[in-house]
Amino acid sequence: MAEELIRLEKIKKYFNGVKALKGVDLTINKGEIHCLAGENGCGKSTLIKVISGAHEPTDGKIYFCNKEKTHLSPIDSIHMGVQVIYQDFAVFPNLSVAENIAMNKNLVENNKKMNWKKARELSIKALDMVGAKIDPDILVERLSISNKQMVAISRALINDAKVLILDEPTTALTAREVNLLNETLRKLKEKGMAIVIVNHKLDEIYDIADRLTILRNGQNVATGLIEEFDRKRFVNCMTGREIVDEIYQPVTSDQEICKVSNLGLTGYFQNVDFSLYKGDVLGITGLLGSGRGEIGDALFGINPATEGTISINGEDRKINSISDAVKYGIGYVPEDRLTQGLFLTRSISDNTVAASLSEYMENGKLNRNKIDRVTAKWIEDIGCVAASTEIPIKTLSGGNAQKMVIAKWLNTHPKLLILNGPTVGVDIGSKFDIHKILHELAATGVGVIIITDDLSELYYNCNKLIIMSNGESSGVLQMKDYTESEISEMIKNATKDLK
Amino acid sequence: MNKIKFKNFATTNEAIVAYTIVVLCLLIGFANPAFFSFSTVITLSRAMLITLIFAALEMVIIISGGIDVSFPAIACISAYSTIKLILKFDIDSIAFFYIFASAIGLCFGAINAYLIAKRNISPLIATLGVSSIANGATLAFLGTKEFSNIPDHIDSLSRSYLFSFTNSAGIKYQMTTLILIPIVLLIVFFIVLKFTTFGRGIYAIGGDENAARIAGFNVVRIKSFLYMFSGVLAAIGGVTYTILMRQSSPQNLMGAEMMVIAAVVVGGTRITGGHGTVLGTVLGVLLIAIVQNNLVMVGIPTSYQTFVVGLIIVMGTGITSIRSKHIANSAKI
Amino acid sequence: MNLDLIKNRNVNKNNIMLLGLGVAIFIIMSILEPRIFLRSANIRGMFVQLPEYGILCYGMMLAMISGGIDLSLVGIANLASIVAASVMIGQDGSPFSIVLGIIAALLVGATCGLFNGFLIGYLKIPAMLVTLCGLQLYIGLGLAITKGPAMTGLPEAYGNIANKLFLGIPIPFYVFVVVTAVIAFIMRSTIYGQQLKFMGTNETASKYSGINNLKVTLITYMTGGILGAISGVLISSHYNSAKSDYGSSYTLLTLLIVVLGGTDPDGGEGNVMGVAFAVLLLQLVSSAFNILRINSFLKTFVYGLILVLTMLITGYFDVRGRDKN
């Protein structure tokens, strides 16, 4: 029988009344790789923060080696041998790579002294373990995302952890780096370490997992050995329904909405060409840092393109700033909803009109009634569940809040709507709704661009696809020419051997 | 490899401030050769003495991501109340002066610590409030009288010198022993900031407070300690100033925060936290002291002094922020 | 809908409390010292003094709603009045010179504000640092012009601005009322006013919503600069002289009033009426201190205490409110 390291019983965690975890059980054994799977927003990250002591659970029991622990603090958890690599890495941008790596070990061992020479040696050793080549003296703020992740992984590895938890560790890694990481993890497992990986990418889970726990909406759905899950059961458990997604097949039209040629931004991407016709939904994918997000940023004027032309409804437009983009009818649903998309403390109606204020200024006064009417109409049209137009938007769930971010832009009557990660952290129902909204939009003649790394989202919702790899565009692919696994293969190949 | 290292070193903030100082010294020296004499060193170190103590505390607070504008008021109330006690009860002891004042400074520092570390109130507003409380309390409850009758034993410290020297014109220049206080302090700060986990924790908190908490630092405790310690250092600065100037007044240090923050920021400490070095701070203080003390030598009238210093601060902070903006936008490795 | 009502009631609660406290002090003082407190000279004195910092408060309020802070207002006020004084003295003090002087003051205020706004909005230097440095710079410029002592010999008619009555009330109070109305109008009825709140709530989200943050920042600090200049004209007219360190205690006072008036120190929220009531309240407190012959330094102490307590109490309710949700 496997030796038990951590056991969670009936963990509940509420935020501002939002139930993130509704009584989750989890057991982690020595020498296993345990995958924690589930759709975005199912509570995986929250659960990890409970184990690491960053969140105190609202209710439930935590056992380390069969001993109950209450009021767990981050340092307690670290002393218990838990190391977490967070999605945002939690590295210190102002410190050197060596110091970032050595910092936690110093804390764990309660060293009062900072030994720079030792830190440097340690960091070189740790970076070697994951096969990263980074100058240990450089400041972390100068590193790319994937190198920052390498630093975070190296830092966790040198701490002789008993349990290593990785929260979505592969989002920024190339296929080769993923393999390297997997090898490292297997070696660690041999040494008896327990490894917990949070992931929602099927292929990667099958590659590495021994055991699997699936969460949905803050609850356990299934747990067991990986062999017990075939693909169908897995997907069914994750999404809670039989997948009835149909491939998006628009009524094609020759009415051109937007044409982009030879678009480039020095240092990020070049030679991007595409045109959107009425009904088209274009998907853009690739790794973080491949240039996929930067295309959206360039079209919206955040980091304006340095070369190429953009025409909207047949007219050439120069987009040098966000104001230009908004003027020409471009809307942008940003990647990070919480910091870039929402005014958290403000009401739903304020959020809805944030990009179209001037329409409501009548006779030197903001027409509150009109705003309320419009907001109520959007809430209904877009299928948002909200008690009133005046409650702060932070009380909405991820999916409903995301719908209102989209409504904010629809309220400006855009000609082109760019969505960067439109369904990140969105529950499955809302995800379905959002996709439906996008299809309807496309049918009415709004250009829709989806930037995402979610394969099924691309496959079932776009009819055109661009795969970005190291700033290079694959050219526009017609989705109907390929099967899902072919697309998956192509994305994998595009991300291979970049360096 | 060495060449790259050298290039990196040559473009650090410290190096840039150092170049500025050299150029400034040459300019002043050409305009008035009297500047290049040993007496300048002594005048400058006397001028920098108190600022260095305050700059050391402000630097650490800013590195941790906060700010403290209450230290002049805390320095005044601790030194002034202690000197009143000393005069009333005839306690002529240097140790008592320092220790009792430090205890008062600690109390005010603790208020700052509670408000900022425990209750998460914006450091600027909290320390402004505490500054007002301390300053108001001094003037309202302790009086406005200035004392210049410092007891003999304490006063003797102001007349103790490390060494003295007489120039050709027969004027005697003496280096006060008190200069040892900032020197020792800065050495200790250098070691703590560079070579202890605690010191690195201060940088970590300034870099990313949440990450520091996750890594296992007790952020509340470290920040509390810093503000409390800052109160103690403010008191030490106040006492030293009293001894150096041989008089005590309830608000002669008020307004000092401006110059100190300026010196720290010009010395390369980022106001947003996480970056800053002892060497940079010393250079920043030196730069401002040279400007303040020697502008007259190049023919700029005294009335322009505040303006020129203000201009230098604006340029200094401007350059620092443009540099950090540049780093943020430069291609990643 | 229900929630809407509750929200509005909450906003008003702060204002009602401020107003209630003001009335209470007024009544208590009228009973304790009716002969001094209700004397027209005292009332008039309040009406002259209150606009001087009351107008600065709106500059601070705008900066704070935008997510920043403006510590340079007093410096701008003095610099503007010094420039105005130089213009007037240079023009031999004719009535025309007074107009010219006031225009010069407003221009100086706007320029200083734009300079602040540029450093904050374009170079992204934190507002606290910019305005702290700005304060030094503006005081320095003022010193360079005056060479230290107060500039006197201003035209007599200039002094009338602050010291003459209209319908029995000193003119500065009318200025305060007009400024209050204008700021209320800006906050309520202009797109800028709305955008300011959005930017203060979440700068990134406002950028991503197509709001021009740089423009909003520039307008905010420029308005602050102009308000500083207006206050500077009132102060110099009151003393009939200009100096680089008049009103140095006003910075803390404005900060206190703005926070007391319900402005969120983290940005995004603020209401003009709240600040106006807080200005009145603080003037009553100040006047009460003077009449009861309480050591004037105690005022500094009490102001600091009120500031800290206000922050503690609002912080406490914020946390409580969050937990309840």
The per-residue DSSP string of A313-374 comes to TTEEE---SHHHHHHTTEEEE-S-IIIII--TTSBHHHHHHTT-GGGGEETTEE-HHHHHHH
Structural domains of chain C ordered from first start:
42-317 (1.10.3470.10)
Give the model's pLDDT for residue C4.
Answer: 40
What average pLDDT is seen over chain A?
83
**DSSP state at residue A100:** H
- Which residue from B278, B262, B245 is spatially nearest to B312, judged by alpha carbons? B262
Counted residue by residue, chain B has a size of: 333
- Final residue of a structural domain among A239, A268, A284: A239
Query: Which of A156-160, A449-453, B2-6 shows the lowest mean pLDDT across its residues?
Result: B2-6
Taking the C-alpha atoms of residue B198 and residue A111, their distance in angstroms, rounded to an integer, is 9
CB A225 within 8 A of CB A205: no
Are residue A90 and residue A132 in the same domain, yes or no? yes
Are residue A144 and residue A278 in the same domain, yes or no? no
Give B271-307 as a 3 state SS string.
CCCCCCCHHHHHHHHHHHHHHHHHHHHHCCCHHHHHH
A85 lies in which domain range?
4-239
CB C124 within 8 A of CB B323: no
Q: In which residue are the tokens 């908004």 written?
A: A326
Helix (H, G, I), strand (E, B) or coil at B51: helix
In chain A, which residues have their Cβ closer than 8 Å to the Cβ of B191? none
Are residue A294 and residue A219 in the same domain, yes or no? no
Taking the C-alpha atoms of residue A69 and residue C190, their distance in angstroms, rounded to an integer, is 56
DSSP string, A357-425: GGGGEETTEE-HHHHHHHHHHHHHHTT---S-SSSBGGGS-HHHHHHHHHHHHHTT--SEEEEESTTTT
**DSSP state at residue C164:** -
Position B7 in a domain: no
Give the model's pLDDT for residue A186.
Answer: 87
Distance from the Cα of B224 to chain A's closest Cα (Å) equals 18
Give the model's pLDDT for residue B7.
Answer: 58
Cβ–Cβ of A354/C189 closer than 8 Å?
no
Cβ–Cβ of A74/B328 closer than 8 Å?
no
Instruction: Please give the biggest Cα pair distance in chain A.
Output: 76
In chain A, which residues have their Cβ closer than 8 Å to the Cβ of B275? 94
The residue type of C274 is G
The residue type of A202 is L
In chain C, which residues have their Cβ closer than 8 Å to the Cβ of B134? 304
Q: Give the β-pairing of A365-366 and A361-362.
A: antiparallel
State the pLDDT confidence band at B184, using cuts at 50, 70 and 90: very high
- Final residue of a structural domain among A239, A272, A301: A239
Number of structural domains chain B divides into: 1
Are residue A135 and residue A264 in the same domain, yes or no? no
Show the tokens assigned to B186: 């800065």
What is the average per-residue pLDDT within C147-173? 81
- CATH number of the domain within which A274 lies: 3.40.50.300
B121 lies in which domain range?
12-329
Distances (CA, A) of C252 to B262, C60, C231: 20, 11, 16
Which comes out higher in pLDDT, residue C211 or A172?
Answer: C211
- ipTM value: 0.86
Are residue A43 and residue A188 in the same domain, yes or no? yes
Which of A376-385, A452-461, B7-16, B244-253 has maximum average pLDDT?
A: B244-253
Please say if the pLDDT value at position A51 is more than 80: yes
- Which residue from A211, A249, A276, A197 is spatially nearest to A448, judged by alpha carbons? A276
Tens of pLDDT, residues B135-172: 999 998 998 889 988 888 888 888 888 888 887 777 88
CA A56 to mean position of chain CA atoms: 24
Q: Which residues 8-37 of B have a C-beta within 8 angstroms of A? A: none
Position A129 in a domain: yes
Tens of pLDDT, residues C218-237: 999 999 999 999 999 999 98
Q: Best mutation site among C82, C83, C129 for testing chain B: the one with the most B CBs within 10 Å?
A: C129
Please say if the pLDDT value at position C8 is more than 50: no
CB atoms within 10 A of CB B33: 10
User: Least CB-CB distance to A332: which of C197, C208, C212?
Assistant: C208
Taking the C-alpha atoms of residue C282 and residue C278, their distance in angstroms, rounded to an integer, is 6
**DSSP state at residue A255:** -
Position B6 in a domain: no
In chain C, which residues have their Cβ closer than 8 Å to the Cβ of A355? 209-211
Position A250 in a domain: no
What average pLDDT is seen over chain B?
88
Cβ–Cβ of C325/A16 closer than 8 Å?
yes
Element (H, E) at A175: helix A175-190
Spatial neighbors of A186 by CB under 8 A, at least 6 apart, are A33, A208
| Residues linked to residue A365 through DSSP beta bridges, in sequence order | A362
State the pLDDT confidence band at C62, using cuts at 50, 70 and 90: very high
Helix, strand, coil content of chain B in percent (nearest 5): 75, 5, 20
Taking the C-alpha atoms of residue A391 and residue C2, their distance in angstroms, rounded to an integer, is 10
| Residues linked to residue A67 through DSSP beta bridges, in sequence order | A64
- Which residue from C139, C140, C141, C127 is spatially nearest to C218, judged by alpha carbons? C127
Which of A1-10, A438-447, B106-115, C283-292 has maximum average pLDDT?
A: B106-115
Query: Which of B62-66, B261-265, B306-310 shows the lowest mean pLDDT across its residues?
Result: B306-310
What average pLDDT is seen over chain C?
85
Are residue A16 and residue A47 in the same domain, yes or no? yes
CB A139 within 8 A of CB A95: yes
- Which residue from A464, A442, A463, A467 is spatially nearest to A453, judged by alpha carbons? A467
Position A475 in a domain: yes
State the pLDDT confidence band at C323, using cuts at 50, 70 and 90: very low
Please say if the pLDDT value at position C9 is more than 60: no
Spatial neighbors of A268 by CB under 8 A, at least 6 apart, are A291, A294, A298, A303, A471
Tens of pLDDT, residues C249-295: 888 889 889 988 888 888 888 889 989 999 998 888 888 888 887 77
Are residue A306 and residue A195 in the same domain, yes or no? no
Are residue A325 and residue A424 in the same domain, yes or no? yes
What is the average per-residue pLDDT within A289-302? 86
Taking the C-alpha atoms of residue A2 and residue A210, their distance in angstroms, rounded to an integer, is 12
Taking the C-alpha atoms of residue A154 and residue A165, their distance in angstroms, rounded to an integer, is 13
- Which residue from A263, A200, A267 is spatially nearest to A418, judged by alpha carbons? A263
Taking the C-alpha atoms of residue B244 and residue B47, their distance in angstroms, rounded to an integer, is 10
Backbone dihedral region for residue A90 (phi beyond 0: left; psi -120 to 50: alpha; all else: beta): left
- pLDDT-above-90 percentage for chain C: 31
Please say if the pLDDT value at position B215 is more than 90: no
Please say if the pLDDT value at position C241 is more than 80: yes
Position A246 in a domain: no
Please say if the pLDDT value at position A194 is more than 80: yes
Tens of pLDDT, residues B248-276: 988 888 888 888 998 998 888 888 889 99
Using CA of residue A414, residue A420, residue A422, residue A425, what is the dihedral sign?
A: negative
- CATH number of the domain within which B207 lies: 1.10.3470
Are residue A264 and residue A175 in the same domain, yes or no? no
Give the model's pLDDT for residue C229.
Answer: 94
Distance from the Cα of B198 to chain A's closest Cα (Å) equals 7
Which residue in B has a C-alpha nearest to residue C146's C-alpha? B303
- Number of helices (H), then strands (E), belonging to chain C: the values are 14, 2
Give the model's pLDDT for residue B331.
Answer: 62
Distance from the Cα of C185 to chain A's closest Cα (Å) equals 8
Cβ–Cβ of C208/A334 closer than 8 Å?
yes
Are residue A196 and residue A280 in the same domain, yes or no? no
Spatial neighbors of B30 by CB under 8 A, at least 6 apart, are none
B207 at the A interface (CB within 8 A)? yes
Distances (CA, A) of C287 to B201, C43, C82, C251, C294: 48, 9, 28, 19, 10
In chain C, which residues have their Cβ closer than 8 Å to the Cβ of B126? 308, 311
Give the model's pLDDT for residue C325.
Answer: 37
In chain B, which residues have their Cβ closer than 8 Å to the Cβ of A103? 197, 200, 204, 215
State the pLDDT confidence band at B298, using cuts at 50, 70 and 90: confident
Element (H, E) at A476: none
Cβ–Cβ of A91/B332 closer than 8 Å?
no
**DSSP state at residue B142:** I
**DSSP state at residue A497:** S
Cβ–Cβ of C322/A16 closer than 8 Å?
yes
Q: Give the β-pairing of A163-167 and A82-85.
A: parallel
Are residue A319 and residue A455 in the same domain, yes or no? yes
Taking the C-alpha atoms of residue A153 and residue A417, their distance in angstroms, rounded to an integer, is 37
Are residue A368 and residue A452 in the same domain, yes or no? yes
In chain A, which residues have their Cβ closer than 8 Å to the Cβ of C202? 339, 342-344
Taking the C-alpha atoms of residue C71 and residue C130, their distance in angstroms, rounded to an integer, is 9
Show the tokens assigned to C94: 């004719």
Show the tokens assigned to B137: 């309390």
Taking the C-alpha atoms of residue B168 and residue C120, their distance in angstroms, rounded to an integer, is 51
Please say if the pLDDT value at position B238 is more than 90: yes
- Which residue from B61, B76, B82 is spatially nearest to B126, judged by alpha carbons? B61
Position B2 in a domain: no
Number of structural domains chain A divides into: 2
